[in-house]
């Protein structure tokens, strides 16, 4: 039997879904908040872990060959020198595009129509027209990261007759919803043309502090910036400067450095900034639909592993000779 340790919230429905993936799998379910002693004991037999184990915990798993994440973000592992090179890593990409793109559209429309400012006026009973608004129709939207999330954003934006431009490594395949595709090398050329910029890429050596003052000042005056990627993409002090100066019309960020954002951060005081506590892609306790998709992905990969088939969503730079490790 292949021992699977599940370190993720899991009700009976999801347990049955995982168990039905293969009769070659034996499951143990442990609360990820359990004591270090319990967790260290549990991982010792595990060949597969479903969930997000700490790097230090992985060191106590001598039989581990495959980690199936229940989230899309992987930088906790891919940026660690301590992640074992012989352990396959896969994420739950494909589960979050719908809900995160919905968040992005909501944030853009909020800024375009100043809903947050009108809400502030409502609290004090003030009836006042705040003037010029932004019409999305015909606007050029630059989406940095054209994977599942970015593509979902582009498809939804198409309803507003926007011209959607993507930034990704592979520009030969243009997903539905996009009008153009460029590589990251062309970012500086594309920023001055965009009315809206959406960042939905993970943290890496290439994207760390990608958006500094230089990049923000390349953007059109009165343009909009939305970040649902990672807080590390942005130099927050520079974002504060361009918002305070009025160079940007507004911004929305669902990710910050650090998280939680300290209560004394100057970001909180900006009227033209929307801040949410990393909730755009929440699943457990927020959306049953997303949780269903996550466990569908997990079950599919567990079945593939047990049957010696190719896994989905394997993370680059963690790909190894997988077939030699799978049964």
Q: pLDDT-derived band of residue 173, with 50, 70 and 90 as boundaries?
A: confident
325, exposed or middle or buried, with CB in 10 Å at 0-12, 13-18, 19+?
Answer: middle
CA-based nearest residue to 197, from 244, 265, 247 = 247
pLDDT for 178-193, tens place per residue? 999 999 999 999 999 9
CB atoms within 10 A of CB 81: 5
- Provide the CATH number for the domain formed by 97-275 in this structure: 3.40.50.720
The upper half-sphere exposure of residue 276, i.e. CA atoms within 13 Å in the direction of its Cβ, equals 19
CB under 8 A, 24+ apart: contacts of 280-283: 280/99, 280/100, 280/103, 280/104, 280/228, 280/254, 281/71, 281/72, 281/96, 281/99, 281/100, 281/103, 281/149, 281/228, 283/70, 283/71, 283/95, 283/96
Say whether 233 sits in a helix, a strand or coil: helix
CB contact at 8 A, 302 and 4: yes
Q: Rounded to whole angstroms, what are the CA distances from 49 to 96, 208, 293? A: 21, 29, 18
What integer best gives the mean pLDDT of the chain?
93
CB contact at 8 A, 53 and 10: no
Q: pLDDT-derived band of residue 79, with 50, 70 and 90 as boundaries?
A: confident
Residue 262 tokens read as 């300290």
E strand or H helix at 165, and its extent?
A: strand 163-167
Residue 104 tokens read as 């992005």
pLDDT for 268-287, tens place per residue? 999 999 999 999 988 777 88
CB contact at 8 A, 233 and 203: yes
Q: pLDDT-derived band of residue 323, with 50, 70 and 90 as boundaries?
A: very low
Mean pLDDT, range 248-273, rounded to an integer: 97
Is the predicted pLDDT of residue 155 greater than 60, yes or no?
Answer: yes
- Before 297, cis peptide (omega within 30)? no
The pTM for the full model equals 0.89
- CATH architecture for the domain at 2-95+285-325: 3-Layer(aba) Sandwich (3.40)
CB under 8 Å to 122, separation ≥6 — which residues? Answer: none
Mean pLDDT, range 199-214, rounded to an integer: 93
CB contact at 8 A, 194 and 143: no
Q: pLDDT-derived band of residue 317, with 50, 70 and 90 as boundaries?
A: low
Q: Where in the chain is the domain with CATH 3.40.50.720?
A: 2-95+285-325, 97-275
The upper half-sphere exposure of residue 189, i.e. CA atoms within 13 Å in the direction of its Cβ, equals 9
């Amino acid at each position: 039997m292949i021992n699977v340790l599940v370190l993720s919230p899991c009700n009976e429905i999801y347990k049955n879904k995982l168990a039905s993936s293969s009769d070659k799998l034996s499951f143990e379910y442990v609360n990820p908040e359990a004591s270090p002693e319990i967790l260290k004991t549990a991982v010792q037999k595990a060949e597969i872990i479903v969930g997000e184990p700490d790097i230090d915990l992985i060191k106590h798993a001598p039989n581990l060959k495959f980690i199936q994440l229940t989230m899309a973000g992987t930088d906790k592992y891919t940026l660690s020198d301590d992640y074992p090179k012989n352990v396959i890593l896969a994420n739950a990409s494909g589960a979050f595009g719908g809900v995160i793109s919905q968040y992005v559209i909501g944030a853009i429309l909020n800024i375009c129509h100043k809903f947050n400012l009108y809400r502030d006026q409502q609290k004090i009973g003030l009836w006042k027209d705040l003037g010029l608004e932004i019409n999305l129709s015909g606007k050029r939207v630059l989406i940095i990261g054209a994977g599942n999330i970015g593509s979902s954003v582009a498809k939804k934006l198409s309803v507003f007759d926007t011209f959607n431009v993507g930034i990704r490594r592979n520009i030969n395949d243009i997903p539905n919803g996009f009008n153009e595709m460029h590589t990251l090398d062309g970012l500086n050329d594309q920023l001055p043309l965009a009315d809206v910029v959406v960042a939905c890429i993970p943290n890496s050596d290439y994207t760390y502090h990608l958006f500094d003052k230089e990049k923000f000042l390349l953007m059109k005056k009165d343009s909009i910036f939305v970040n649902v990627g990672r807080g590390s993409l942005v130099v927050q002090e520079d974002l504060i400067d361009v918002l305070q100066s009025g160079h940007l019309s507004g911004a929305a960020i669902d990710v910050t450095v650090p998280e939680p954002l300290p209560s004394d951060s100057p970001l909180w005081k900006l009227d033209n900034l929307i801040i949410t506590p990393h909730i755009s892609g929440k699943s457990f306790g927020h959306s049953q639909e997303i949780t269903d998709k996550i466990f569908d992905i997990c079950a599919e990969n567990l079945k593939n592993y047990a049957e010696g088939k190719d896994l989905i969503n394997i993370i680059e730079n963690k790909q190894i000779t997988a077939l030699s490790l799978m049964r």
